[in-house]
Structure 1
């Protein structure tokens, strides 16, 4: 049996009583409170320089070029990786005495090198500029609000009408980003991230990244609380380069119609769309359909042989239903000679004359390496937003020629009724056939891809004002001036409020 002295020797050196347990619980609680107090009273918040903050560029560390765990210095605006003692952000904070940082992914603020989180309501505007969000109530008011916003440099801008940086040669992309940002169903869809958050992309899905980046551009263009009055589409352009496998680049001028065709189909696929109708917001907004009546021409001038061939099955007229995202309009050939005053004459033509291609009666010859066919077209379904492409460029063996013919068109009340199929079912499905112009893309300068410049003319519904945008340049525009330009791509909105 152990003596009292032996029992004392076996006792632990520290005796954990209930009182001591309470003290141990209180101690970390005091530390937590002290840390929270420090977070809410950071002495370096006044060093933040919002003038230097630009979150439009790719979220990469400026030293390691890594996209993992990247922080932005809120004093100089540069991006650095990590915040541990061996990280680039920590080193920058010590060397430059720049102490306030934001995690570009979690949107949490930290003070370095002390490494404590900052919680302060005055920083919410930085969060919103980095990642703007829109509620459905806000979105529903965009087309009725004419409120002007003010940037940090005291310049004013209209949300939705902000210049886009031309990084080098991406103006052919910028005009489309602007135009699509004013197509109401497309804009409303992309302003709310919840619209496509349910889509589960495959690993490394570059098309879904394209979807996300376009949503970011739209939200920045419509952000009423931007620090500056322009937006850089750098990340969106990078996504385009990767998704197109460098077919469309920032460093080389591209062709807008070709880019638009690729972009519409890529967004449609990235959103899970299929060949069926109404499977994405893209097809819901832009997709129409037409009947294409086609007949093959015999390759003979012999009347008897011609008559015999016309009875064969392959030379009979066939009809195929074809979906479309846009209609291509053919301009008549420009005059070859100068007028009587020895000046170049620029012809004009009404838009309705160009649209007669789709009235179901006019035939046009189409040559291919296999055969020659005569085709005529009739529209069977009108989309909510109709895209018209005026074909200004023709290629031959030597060069690309641009047709400068001016197209005369109305700003509103473009009636597509006469181009619809006479099928009663088609007629009944279209109680509204009148369209109003909402975007007009213009090509200026030399012909062909890789040359010339692009600008876009937009209607801001809330302000009831037309604007012209060319990269960073934004100007007010009189409606009468729109028809004087060499229109290239037009977007028309179906008017469902007018009485037919």
Structure 2
């Protein structure tokens, strides 16, 4: 009977075990003995099932100590958890739904889950086996604590490695929260290795734009022969001057580089990919839209905006080397033709002559000299100095792509600042342009009446005394004339005034030739023209009301003297030109002869040399004649004749034979004034 009862109990217990295998593990845990849940597992734990079970266990409101210990036990890596469980398992061939036995006996003698101690005693389990099971539990605890320590060390190493990876992939707050919610997933070695590999691959390519900028494949498409930065910086489509880019393949200007801009459209339609921002001087590749950084493009930037050091400026007058342009033509820096857009030759000759005035050239070659000058808001006169400086830098650029320069931007500034009084489509007078340009430039540089207020005053401004008296009527008697002379109106009045150039009057040409037919082209010495300013000779100036007599006395000579020979006479009907030839010397012109003895003593040097000569050829009137200029190149000591784009060298003996219109003389500081620092009495004794 006892045997039958024992068999029935075993059958009922086995059925209970089979039913419990289908119940979740969290339900089968014993509150008194929580370690039984690990010892009674018969199959290998899997990552997905364990995560689901522990998430369910965390959601259940358990306040007992057994559930807390079970949740701590599960914080193990997949690999180490399987190792610990494999030690407890019986064998790979063990049945799935049977509990694990410590002494590896049959399942009949193993105590079942959630059984009373009485059932264990009845089943015949010995005390030795119970002790062995307790020992195995202690070993499992030790292995679990070791795995926890190793897991913590693995976490520290993983954090250090992730700090090296590029920031922004995942924040530390998110990673810590994920580790708290799913500790098994965060400690998985396979997943961390994959994440690290992906981060390393992403961090390898830091910035694709920087990498492409060094290896742009379209640099060989740049055509330097069509690049021309002389024209106004306007978009060829929208005519806007904002954010303009130059296509380095065809040379055209376009606005913007966004997807809806004209430069972007041009790059897609024409397959022109390299562009230059004309303001920031940066290169871009479109439509890829990345910046190009290459040292081979520096020559383009230098042509766009040439720069000069103070050492280079000092050596310009001593340089006689020829420069080679991109089209293999040779030229001298400074001796470069200016393009005649339509009828601007009268401006070109003046600009060429002023470009060889050394103080003026040296001042405008350095942009820092005039870029800091502050002008009132909305004032456009600052454009005049900026454009003139850009033109001078291009004329003296030794690395030009071509042997000529277009003054388009300069002339646009002239038309704008003169309020359309001076035009490039209609020929004007060279002296009108020179007078306006010097006065406007002086004002744009914030010049005042002081001689040292601007570079223009320092270079060209002189001082003279003008004596004026009113002419007495001829029909009056001597007594009446004596009475009028006592009036303030008819007394001699003296005014001191500054001057920029000296106006010389030509005598009227003869109406008929002489008997020998030799006076067909009249001639006059240069000294006769200058005698107007010796302070002795008087000249009558008539008006519709009365006439006045004036005489001029120079009191201060500037470093550069501009002489204007008045050839054109205008009346109500026509404009006449005086063809008289002036015989002037090229070197050693002593302007000290015009000064009074007491004034000449104050000047160290009074000898001047000719350095520029502007000539007018042809008939008077707009559009009928033409202008050309003779310029001395100090580096080579040769004279050159320039008429628009035509540049040829000329003999100095041919210069006085031309119909000179404007001349610029330069002071020679190597020839001292012999009367400097001496009294007039000593000078008289020296002359005797």
Structure-2-length-normalised TM-score: 0.69
**Match status 1:486 vs 2:659:** yes
Q: Cα distance, 1:371 vs. partner?
A: 3.2
What residue is the counterpart of 1:366 in the other structure?
Answer: 541
**Match status 1:24 vs 2:166:** yes
Aligned partner (choices 399, 404, 407) of residue 574 of structure 2? 399
What residue is the counterpart of 1:151 in the other structure?
Answer: 325
Q: Cα distance, 1:6 vs. partner?
A: 9.2
CA contact (8 A) 1:300 1:306 kept: no
Aligned partner (choices 421, 424, 433) of residue 250 of structure 1? 424
Q: Cα distance, 1:201 vs. partner?
A: 2.1
What residue is the counterpart of 1:103 in the other structure?
Answer: 277
What residue is the counterpart of 1:434 in the other structure?
Answer: 607
**Match status 1:468 vs 2:610:** no
Q: Cα distance, 1:462 vs. partner?
A: 0.5
What residue is the counterpart of 1:346 in the other structure?
Answer: 521
Aligned partner (choices 457, 461, 466) of residue 283 of structure 1? 457
Q: Cα distance, 1:29 vs. partner?
A: 6.4
**Match status 1:355 vs 2:497:** no
Q: Output the CA distance in 2 between the equivalents of 1:67 and 1:6.
A: 72
Q: In structure 1, the residue corresponding to 2:165 is in which secondary structure? A: helix
Q: Cα distance, 1:378 vs. partner?
A: 0.8
Root-mean-square deviation over aligned CA pairs: 2.0
Cα deviation digits, residues 449-497 of structure 1 (max 9, x gap): 5531100000000011100000000000100010010000000001111
Q: Cα distance, 1:344 vs. partner?
A: 6.9
CA contact (8 A) 2:165 2:203 kept: no
- Superposed, 1:169-248 pairs within 5 Å as 169-248=343-422
Q: Output the CA distance in 2 between the equivalents of 1:276 and 1:341.
A: 54
Using a 3 Å threshold, how does the CA distance of structure 1 residues 102 and 260 change in structure 2: closer, same or farther?
Answer: same
- Specify which structure has the higher proportion of strand: 1
Q: Output the CA distance in 2 between the equivalents of 1:35 and 1:218.
A: 37
Structure-1-length-normalised TM-score: 0.94
Using a 3 Å threshold, how does the CA distance of structure 1 residues 19 and 333 change in structure 2: closer, same or farther?
Answer: same
Structure 2 gaps, min length 5: 1-55, 62-70, 72-157, 168-199, 674-688
Cα deviation digits, residues 47-91 of structure 1 (max 9, x gap): 000000000000000000000000000000000000011110000
Q: In structure 1, the residue corresponding to 2:381 is in which secondary structure? A: helix
**Match status 1:137 vs 2:279:** no
Aligned partner (choices 254, 259, 267) of residue 80 of structure 1? 254
Q: Output the CA distance in 2 between the equivalents of 1:449 and 1:290.
A: 33
Q: How many residues are treated as equivalent by the alignment?
A: 490
CA contact (8 A) 2:606 2:672 kept: no
Structure 1 gaps, min length 5: 9-15
Cα deviation digits, residues 410-465 of structure 1 (max 9, x gap): 1110001111133x3x3332110000001000000111455311000000000111
Q: Output the CA distance in 1 between the equivalents of 2:363 and 2:437.
A: 16
Q: Cα distance, 1:313 vs. partner?
A: 1.6
Using a 3 Å threshold, how does the CA distance of structure 1 residues 224 and 28 change in structure 2: closer, same or farther?
Answer: farther
**Match status 1:453 vs 2:608:** no
CA contact (8 A) 2:617 2:626 kept: yes
Q: Output the CA distance in 2 between the equivalents of 1:28 and 1:140.
A: 55
- Of residues 461-470 and 335-344 in structure 1, the stretch that sits farther from structure 2 once superposed is 335-344
Cα deviation digits, residues 194-252 of structure 1 (max 9, x gap): 11122012233221100000001100000000000000000000000000000001100
CA contact (8 A) 2:166 2:203 kept: no
CA contact (8 A) 2:639 2:649 kept: yes
Q: Output the CA distance in 2 between the equivalents of 1:292 and 1:127.
A: 52
Aligned partner (choices 44, 50, 57) of residue 231 of structure 2? 57
What residue is the counterpart of 2:486 in the other structure?
Answer: 311
CA contact (8 A) 1:393 1:448 kept: no
Q: In structure 2, the residue corresponding to 1:380 is in which secondary structure? A: strand
Q: Output the CA distance in 2 between the equivalents of 1:270 and 1:32.
A: 50
What residue is the counterpart of 1:267 in the other structure?
Answer: 441
- Of residues 366-375 and 278-287 in structure 1, the stretch that sits farther from structure 2 once superposed is 366-375
Q: Output the CA distance in 2 between the equivalents of 1:427 and 1:32.
A: 75
Using a 3 Å threshold, how does the CA distance of structure 1 residues 404 and 112 change in structure 2: closer, same or farther?
Answer: same
CA contact (8 A) 1:393 1:400 kept: yes
CA contact (8 A) 1:255 1:450 kept: no
Cα deviation digits, residues 255-299 of structure 1 (max 9, x gap): 000111100000000011012222100000000010001101123
What residue is the counterpart of 2:504 in the other structure?
Answer: 329
Aligned partner (choices 655, 666, 669) of residue 496 of structure 1? 669
CA contact (8 A) 2:536 2:551 kept: yes
Q: In structure 1, the residue corresponding to 2:317 is in which secondary structure? A: coil
What residue is the counterpart of 2:93 in the other structure?
Answer: none
CA contact (8 A) 1:331 1:391 kept: yes
Using a 3 Å threshold, how does the CA distance of structure 1 residues 27 and 130 change in structure 2: closer, same or farther?
Answer: farther
CA contact (8 A) 1:400 1:447 kept: yes
Q: In structure 2, the residue corresponding to 1:24 is in which secondary structure? A: coil
Q: Output the CA distance in 2 between the equivalents of 1:354 and 1:6.
A: 119
Between the two structures, name the one with larger relative contact order (CA 8 Å, sep ≥ 6).
1
